[in-house]
Amino acid sequence: MPTNTESEVQTTQKEPERERRIFTFKATQVVWLVLGILEALLALRFGLKLIGANPASPIAVFIYGFTNLFLFPFTGLTGTPTAGSMVLEISTVIAMVVYALIAWALERIIWVIFYRPRGPVVSVTQTKTTDQHTEE
Q: Is residue 7 part of a domain?
A: no
Q: Is residue 63 part of a domain?
A: yes
How confident is the model at residue 131, as a pLDDT?
A: 62
Q: Is residue 98 part of a domain?
A: yes
Number of domains in the chain: 1
- The tens digit of pLDDT for each residue in 77-128 reads 999 999 998 999 999 999 999 999 999 999 999 999 988 777 666 666 667 7
Q: Is residue 82 part of a domain?
A: yes
Given a cut of 60, whether residue 133 has pLDDT beyond it is: no
Given a cut of 60, whether residue 55 has pLDDT beyond it is: yes
Can you say whether the dihedral through the CA atoms of 101, 102, 103, 108 is positive or negative? positive
Distance, CA of 126 to CA of 108 (rounded, Å): 41
